[in-house]
């Protein structure tokens, strides 16, 4: 994808689906800890994590939430979406190397305010739900095609 | 804080409060975009953001959610907490330079499963709610004092 395109409110239909995937890397965990301030050792310290029920380092639950936000912002409805609310129930840990696919399904539309409700499911490469929930957004009314912003190089060390 | 200490389930009382603050920097937005994949131009592209209702770049809504996760993981209940669910309603944008304070209040406890419900409010430096919601966690049963993990240096550009 070299550009981002949205679905306008009128283009969205109940039952419409979209997906977005991201693989959790060790670097992603470090960056998430830095940006959020959440330096919980279960995410960062392999020795500590080995003593927990998870046995190894896991991704932040809120990281999975952030990938849902990416799915809404980039894929459906896409650019111009305004995020109103999210609820999320965490069902299973995400490990380094896991590929999480966000499955979005439009479940409701409110024409007067252009509110759209979406079912949001985060599923790992084994088909297991790691988080399930619901998003409410205001969908864009204007069709947009935008260049994908480039991020600067990030170096750790 | 050079170490992290938790509140065990038994130490938590209904009505107990705690806070955790973080100031959103431009670098935080870049790191959040990288780790989540959410490169929505409203967060990254000042020219595009100027054309939106927000008039300038704003932080990701899910970033505010990530700071709530930091508050739960580091302050109350702290290390050993297992995150079960979060709901969050976004009320106002967060701008670069805004200091967000997470206000946590214990609102319910379920002794059999050590479930704790917390009211979670994210408030900016002007006292305005930017997001409000509820967290459900399993509180730790074991008292812990842990060293704060150090993050590697992160260089952008």
Model confidence, pTM: 0.96
Report chain A residues whose CB lies below 8 A from the CB of B66.
32, 35-36, 38, 60, 62-63, 65-66
Q: Does residue B114 form part of some domain?
A: yes
A73 touches chain B (CB under 8 A): yes
CA dist B120 and A66 (Å) reads 18
B51 lies in some domain = no
Instruction: Tell me whether residues B39 and A74 touch, CB distance under 8 A.
Output: yes
Return d(Cα A15, Cα A106) in angstroms, integer: 5
Could you say which of A66, A74, A79 has the minimum Cβ distance to residue B62? Answer: A66
Token pair belonging to B131: 């997001």
- Is the pLDDT at B1 greater than 60, yes or no? no
Which of B62, B79, B82 shows the shortest C-beta gap to A41? B79
Residue B130 belongs to what domain range? 7-24+60-143
Q: What's the number of domains chain B is made of?
A: 1
Residue A95 and residue B104: Cα distance in Å, rounded?
A: 28
Task: Provide the β-strand partners of residue A129.
Answer: A123
Tell whether A157 is within 8 A of chain B (Cβ): yes
- The 10s digit of each residue's pLDDT in A79-94 is 999 999 999 999 999 9
Is A78 within a domain?
A: yes
The verdict on residue A117 lying in a domain is yes
Average pLDDT score over residue span B44-66: 95
Residue B136 lies in a domain: yes
User: CA–CA distance from A9 to each of A86, A105, A111, A123, B120 (Å)?
Assistant: 19, 14, 8, 26, 31
pLDDT in tens, A124-146: 999 999 999 999 999 999 999 99
Residue B113 sits in a domain of what CATH number?
Answer: 3.10.129.10
Per-residue pLDDT of B107-154, as tens digits, reads 999 999 999 999 999 999 999 999 999 999 999 999 999 999 999 999
In a domain, B130, yes or no: yes
Q: Which helix (H) or strand (E) holds A147?
A: strand A145-147
Residue B111 CA to residue B116 CA, distance in Å, equals 9
Which chain B residue is nearest to residue A90, measuring alpha carbons?
Answer: B84
- Interface pTM, i.e. ipTM: 0.95
Identify whether B70 is part of a domain: yes
Among B3, B28, B30, B37, pick the best mutation site for testing chain A contact (most A Cβ within 10 A). Answer: B37
Q: What is the pLDDT of residues A42-88, one digit of tens each?
A: 999 999 999 999 999 999 999 999 999 999 999 999 999 999 999 99
Q: What is the pLDDT of residue B2?
A: 75
Query: Does pLDDT of A1 surpass 70?
Result: no
User: CA torsion A28→B25→B6→B134, rounded to 10°?
Assistant: -90
**Could you say which of B35, B67, B152 has the minimum Cβ distance to residue A157?**
B152
Q: Which residues have C-beta within 8 Å of that of residue B78, sequence separation ≥ 6?
A: B4, B5, B6, B7, B140, B144
Q: Is B89 a domain residue?
A: yes
CB A135 within 8 A of CB A85: yes
């Amino acid at each position: 994808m070299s550009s981002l395109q949205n679905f306008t409110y009128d283009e969205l239909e109940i039952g419409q689906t979209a997906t977005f995937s991201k693989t959790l890397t060790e670097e992603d965990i470090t960056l998430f800890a830095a940006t959020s301030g959440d330096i919980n050792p279960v995410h960062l310290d392999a020795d500590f994590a080995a003593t927990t029920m998870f046995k190894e380092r896991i991704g932040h639950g809120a990281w999975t939430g952030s990938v849902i936000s990416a799915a809404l912002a980039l894929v459906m409805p896409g650019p111009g979406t305004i995020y109103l609310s999210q609820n999320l129930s965490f069902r299973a840990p995400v490990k380094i190397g896991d590929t999480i696919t966000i499955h979005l399904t439009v479940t409701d539309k409110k024409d007067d305010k252009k509110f759209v409700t979406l079912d949001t499911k985060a599923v790992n490469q084994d088909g297991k739900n790691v988080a399930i929930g619901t998003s409410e957004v205001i969908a864009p009314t204007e069709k947009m095609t935008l260049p994908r912003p480039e991020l600067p190089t990030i170096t750790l060390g």
